[in-house]
Amino acid sequence: MRFLPAVDSASALPRRRAFTLVELLVVIAIIGILIALLLPAVQAAREAARRMTCSNNLKQIGMGLLNYNAAMKQFPPGKITPGTWSNTQKSYTCWAIEILPYIEQTALYRQYHHEVYNEDPPNQEVREALVSVYCCPSEPGTGDLGKPESGPAGTSGGRSGIPYRRGSYRCVTGRSTGIGWWDCYDSTGNPPLKWRGVLHVTGYYGHEPKYHDLYQEKVKNITDGLSHTLMVGETATKSHQGRSTFWAYSCANFNASCATPQSRALLVDFDRCCSIPGEGSNNPCKRGWGGFHPQGLNFVLCDGSVNTISNDVEMELFCRLCTIAEKESASLPP
């Protein structure tokens, strides 16, 4: 009987060749390059989705304002401030509060007490409420509670301040040279009547004598054309969060902005804006505009359409788009 020699089973199997260190490094490098190539595309897709959400928010806000107008036969006040504005003068309702029933927030609106000031305890729930439609997803920190820097709820002068919920959008009160504003009646005087926007301040106890007949605007007053007049737009800042937008805060400029022919007012950075000289010192920065979208900032017009305004828009054109009766033929750039 013949016996076959024993065969080592391990040595009979084909030997696998392992990756060398160089090959592993090459594979890792290729994966890294692919990720680097794909990451901007992913980020761009995410930003496109955020910009679409922001645009839809403004579309809903615009429809809310138009539905309010259809029901009340006039647009809501930009805000109601009794008498001459001061740093301690409390205020009443504003555009963002008044359209709550028209953006599916009727329950929240019913909690608002018109007979007292916004800063009074009965209105705490409303001023601290998170309304997602008022928050652009591209802006960091929107929806957070914060304390405004000035006004009756402000922290200036060593005061403790009153928390308000942040937002991303402000109404258009009109235009200014940098001195005199349509969001309040201040000691610098009022701008020309023809420069008013559709959502300017309204005096609860009446206007100053020369504006005694001016209250809430009607469609017929927008003689420059509904499709040529901006109504609500984005306002954000990378710095100085006390100058952010607070959607229910009716003080001066915290949920309302004005157009000035100064390009610094479109920067999404309050401190940087203030560092650039210009008429009105830091007041155009307080009432500035800005968005975190690379393409520009979104606005809803008086006809309910939403458009993106480029950051390098010609500023005189931008100012004309913010007025309702300047008798000009300004149109959005293509």
Is 183 inside a domain boundary? yes
Is 7 inside a domain boundary? no
pLDDT in tens, 238-291: 999 999 999 999 998 999 999 999 999 999 999 999 999 999 999 999 999 999
Q: Which amino acid makes up residue 247?
A: W
Average model confidence (pLDDT) across the chain: 87
Is 37 inside a domain boundary? no
Is 21 inside a domain boundary? no
Residue 300 has pLDDT above 90, yes or no: yes
> For the chain, what is the radius of gyration of the CA atoms?
27
Q: How many domains does the chain have?
A: 1
pLDDT in tens, 148-203: 999 999 998 888 999 999 999 999 999 999 988 888 765 455 788 889 999 998 87
Q: Report CA 96 to chain centroid distance, whole Å.
A: 12
Could you give the CA distance from residue 171 to residue 119 in angstroms, rounded to a whole number? Answer: 20
Half-sphere exposure of 270 (CA within 13 A, CB side): 17
Is 28 inside a domain boundary? no
Which ranges of the chain does DSSP label H, i.e. alpha helix? 9-12, 21-72, 95-98, 106-109, 124-127, 270-275, 283-286, 315-321
Is 9 inside a domain boundary? no
Q: What is the average per-residue pLDDT within 60-87?
A: 89
Could you tell me what percent of the chain has a pLDDT over 90?
A: 64
Query: Could you tell me if 286 and 243 are in contact, meaning their C-beta atoms sit under 8 angstroms apart?
Result: yes
Is 15 inside a domain boundary? no
Structural domain span for residue 291? 44-321
DSSP annotation of 141 reads: T
Could you give the CA distance from residue 276 to residue 105 in angstroms, rounded to a whole number? Answer: 40
* 52: helix, strand or coil: helix
Pairing of strands 245-246, 306-309: unpaired
* This prediction's pTM: 0.85
Q: Which is nearest to 226 in space by CA: 217, 236, 214?
A: 217
Is 286 inside a domain boundary? yes
Could you give the CA distance from residue 181 to residue 251 in angstroms, rounded to a whole number? Answer: 13
pLDDT in tens, 97-124: 999 999 999 999 999 999 899 999 999 9
